[in-house]
Structure 1
Amino acid sequence: MPVEKTSPALMARLGGGIKHYFRRELLPLLADLRLAIALLLAIALLSIAGTVIEQGQTLAFYQANYPEDPALFGFLTWKVLLGIGLDHVYRTWWFLSLLILFGASLTACTFTRQITALRWFSRTWNFYTKPRQFTKLALSSELPGGSLSALIPLLEKRRYRIFQRDNALYAHKGLVGRIGPIVVHASMLLILLGAILGAMTGFFAQEMVPSGETFQIRNIFDAGPWAAAQIPKDWSVRVNRFWIDYTPEGGINQFYSDLSVLDQAGEEVKNKTIFVNQPLRYQNVTLYQADWSIAAVKVQLNNSPVLEFPMGQLDTGGAGRLWGTWVPTRPDLSDGISLIAKDLQGTLLVYNNDGQLVSTVRKGMSVEVNGVTLAVVDLIGSTGLQIKADPGIPLVYTGFGLLMLGVLMSYVSHAQIWALETEVGQLFVGGRTNRAQVTFERELIGILDQLAQPELATSHEDRKLSASASGSNP
């Protein structure tokens, strides 16, 4: 069968139709302020949901906290929550789609309104050469006998930037007020780009590491689809020491971890002691001090070698944190004792097999129990680390900095003044501003008054200079 070929003319018409649809239909829709506000509200509501609902937890956690009967709010169960991705809101396809759509809306608004307004402004540098052009301005006046030579010093005094061509004049000040909205839009685009980059390439991990152990980041529970490149494989971390500072009342004041980053040869490349709000950063990965635990207890029975027994956290029903282990006191394991600890201060409770408290012992001390001498050599703590990599953070921080700068710039009033001196000795003056209209009107009226009565203006300036020189009030 012969193959039908598409003619170049048809392809050109199709391309022109798509271009026309994009310019006339799609671009105005994306630049619509109502769409941007709706997208922003949707993103805010979903962000609130991602803050309220615990992110990245286990299936058992969601089953326990969001049961099917009774369902939260009558519909929110663990099946619904996991089904629509509310357990990882910021990495779902629909949340990222909202961010991309909002970014497209901001981009469309920037190019169709802000950039267009800036181009229009560049065209306003064309001098007004005909008196009828001043009728378009909201504030304008005609002064018989006025001149540009009298107007220029008055504008210079008020810090206007002046451009003159023949008998026409253009002056403006506060240009940053026109650029501010563009900076705000650009900053929001940077923030969105950083958020999308972090969601796609970042990861979040947790590690519980005993003091003295070396680990590589493995326990990753939340990661973007392109996060593999961010997970370190050529370096590890050693927990040199973990300790807790306690208050005089026995409460926790602060807990610390002395960490060393090791290269593949085991050589230390960075060392830092971290604590809450003082993390360790290395190659775009940040390690935060987040939790702690008791890993093991070292004991000696009579003259035996030092033995290490792991300690596990006990279920207290929310009554507090306790760790315990069982230590045999006979070679055939027919009898033993339980050791219970609540912190790393070194005090342990000793229970027999019947669950009765028989003694207490502190680190570095010993006690007689079940016919043996039990000496507690050490309690080994574990540091709980939260590990995060988010390549989008620099973009987000830069965006927020630009956002604050753009907002401040937007508050600056941009004022423009045009003037035309005719051959018959008439001076046309007019102007406009984008904000602070009343202040601008007062300023322009003051300029016009001085132009209308130059001798009074000169006398007034002389009086001010004389008073300033004599130190008295004018």
Structure 2
Amino acid sequence: MPIFKRLLAILSDLRLAIALLLLIALASALGTILPQQEATDLYLERFNTDPWLGLINGDLMLRLQLDHVYASNWFLTLLALLGLALMLCSWRRQWPALQAALRWIDYSRPRQLSKLALAETRTCSDSQGALNALAGELKANGWDVRQKSDRLAARRGVIGKVGPLLVHTGLVLLLVGAAWGALAGQRLERFLAPGRSLDLLSPTGDSRLSVTLKDFAIERDPAGRPEQFSSTLQLTPAGEPEDERQISVNHPLRYRGMTVYQADWSLAAITLQIGRSPQLQLPLSNFPELGDQIWGLVLPTRPDGSEPVFLSTGSEQGPVQVFDSDGSLITNLRPGGDGTDVKGLPLRVVEIMPASGLLLKRDPGVPLVYAGFAITLLGGGLSMVATRQIWAVTETTSARLHVAGLCNRNLAGFAAELPALISRVDALRD
């Protein structure tokens, strides 16, 4: 039992909760800096050749679960320990403090009041009348007053004692929501070309929702730089009517517990016409080694696959640059423009099809996280409310009124307020 009590004391210590908060903040910073939930090969290729901070290579990063920090065992353990520490602190400290604040303290002797932080004694001809006047003044100013024949107790701002308990409750809800989202949440990122669909399956393998990209538009500035991307989506729930929605950057779609973000853009395919041939739609590949946002394909110009040329572009508006096998520029082609002879091959670019980068996330813990934030903010606001208490005892034999008070915040301000209150009572009686 002594060991158990010692363990409870350690877990309910506020210093442990602060230390856990700092560790969680540090872990969250790691999750922000390092790429998360990428393919295993990416970490091995990138960090084995260039270890992070010169110490952590790709293999060690995977063993430490730094590729999925927020769903890692050690991060969830930190959340669980912090939640347990907050609950124990609330149970052992905040709840008893609230119960004590709700109990009325009855001081019946002047000597008891003289030991409080603020205490004054006034001589008056009618101490009972002064006590009644003080009670009336306090009630008029919103104080809760309990009066007896020769004494009274008053308090204001007791609701501020609820604040710390609400803060702890909100933080626990936030932690539960974050852990639930990490364990039960889903994340899917895909590039879709117009007309293509993405089927979301239920745990049993049945189609739960079909997302079809009907249209994708890129808004560009006069210099050709992308400013905004927007997608028109057709949502088809299983066995229900279709629903059409539009999303753009910073304007996601929230639908039945799922959030769809406009995350990125790409180029999906290029449509070519060779001479009088039918239009050919060919997929484009990304070539990051050639520069930022460069797509292209290799096109042979002879039936046997010889004498290839390389077509590259960085925008759905073109131009499409055509390079020879030695890297020399042959020509530029505009989508929808006239064809050009490329090594004896009439070549025309009909259009370039962009692709919308969609990020689909389902996080069942979001309502708890939002509720936790709201309760934490409410508790933080209530914690700023000062709890003030006043006691008064009359001595009819010596015609004295003894007044004393306590305040858990801004005691100096209350020390100036208390004499002013008593002076107003004297003025009312005069």
Query: Which stretches of structure 1, 4 residues or more, deviate above 6 A after TM superposition?
Result: none
**1:388-467 maps to which residues of 2 (within 5 A)?**
388-424=361-397, 425-451=399-425, 454=426, 456=427
Contact 2:284 2:297 in 1 (8 A): yes
Structure 1 SS opposite 2:208: coil
Whichever residue aligns with residue 187 of structure 2, its letter is: F
**Alpha-carbon separation, structure 1, partners of 2:16 and 2:76:** 17
**Alpha-carbon separation, structure 1, partners of 2:355 and 2:98:** 59
Structure 1 SS opposite 2:340: strand
1:31 aligns with 2:3: no
Aligned to 1:156: 139
Whichever residue aligns with residue 140 of structure 1, its letter is: A
**Alpha-carbon separation, structure 2, partners of 1:230 and 1:418:** 68
Aligned to 2:235: 261
Contact 1:217 1:231 in 2 (8 A): no
The counterpart of 2:321, out of the listed 325, 331, 349, is: 349
Identity of aligned residues (%): 36
Whichever residue aligns with residue 361 of structure 1, its letter is: L
Contact 2:133 2:428 in 1 (8 A): no
The counterpart of 1:203, out of the listed 186, 189, 205, is: 186
Alignment CA distance shift 1:443-1:229 (3 Å): farther
Deviation larger for 288-297 or 160-169: 160-169
After superposition, the C-alpha distances for 1:101-157 in whole angstroms (9 at most, x for unaligned) are 11111111111111101111222x143334443244222234344232121233234
Aligned to 1:470: none
Whichever residue aligns with residue 137 of structure 1, its letter is: L
After superposition, the C-alpha distances for 1:273-330 in whole angstroms (9 at most, x for unaligned) are 211111122121111111111111112233322221111112434x332211244555
Alignment CA distance shift 1:96-1:153 (3 Å): same
Aligned to 2:338: 366
**Alpha-carbon separation, structure 1, partners of 2:205 and 2:394:** 71
Alignment CA distance shift 1:66-1:332 (3 Å): closer
Contact 1:184 1:403 in 2 (8 A): yes
Contact 1:309 1:327 in 2 (8 A): no
**Alpha-carbon separation, structure 2, partners of 1:134 and 1:405:** 34
Alignment CA distance shift 1:235-1:73 (3 Å): closer
The counterpart of 1:62, out of the listed 43, 59, 78, is: 43
The counterpart of 2:170, out of the listed 187, 191, 211, is: 187
Structure 2 SS opposite 1:75: coil
Aligned to 1:118: 98
The counterpart of 1:42, out of the listed 17, 23, 27, is: 23
1:289 aligns with 2:262: yes
Structure 2: gaps spanning 5 or more residues: none
After superposition, the C-alpha distances for 1:432-461 in whole angstroms (9 at most, x for unaligned) are 11111011111112233445xx3x5567xx
State the number of aligned residues.
Answer: 424
1:138 aligns with 2:111: no
Higher RCO, Cα 8 Å, sep 6+? 2
Tell me the TM-score normalized by structure 2.
0.90
Tell me the TM-score normalized by structure 1.
0.82
Alignment CA distance shift 1:441-1:315 (3 Å): closer
**Alpha-carbon separation, structure 1, partners of 2:346 and 2:393:** 106
Offset, 1:198: 1.1
The counterpart of 1:52, out of the listed 22, 26, 33, is: 33
1:272 aligns with 2:245: yes
After superposition, the C-alpha distances for 1:234-275 in whole angstroms (9 at most, x for unaligned) are 11100101121121112112122111111235841x322211
Alignment CA distance shift 1:380-1:72 (3 Å): closer
**1:316-331 maps to which residues of 2 (within 5 A)?**
316-317=289-290, 319-329=291-301, 331=303
Structure 1: gaps spanning 5 or more residues: 1-16, 219-227, 460-474
Structure 2 SS opposite 1:108: helix
Offset, 1:207: 0.4
1:127 aligns with 2:99: no
**Alpha-carbon separation, structure 2, partners of 1:358 and 1:267:** 51
Deviation larger for 381-390 or 431-440: 381-390
Contact 2:229 2:249 in 1 (8 A): yes
**Alpha-carbon separation, structure 2, partners of 1:265 and 1:133:** 75
Offset, 1:73: 4.1
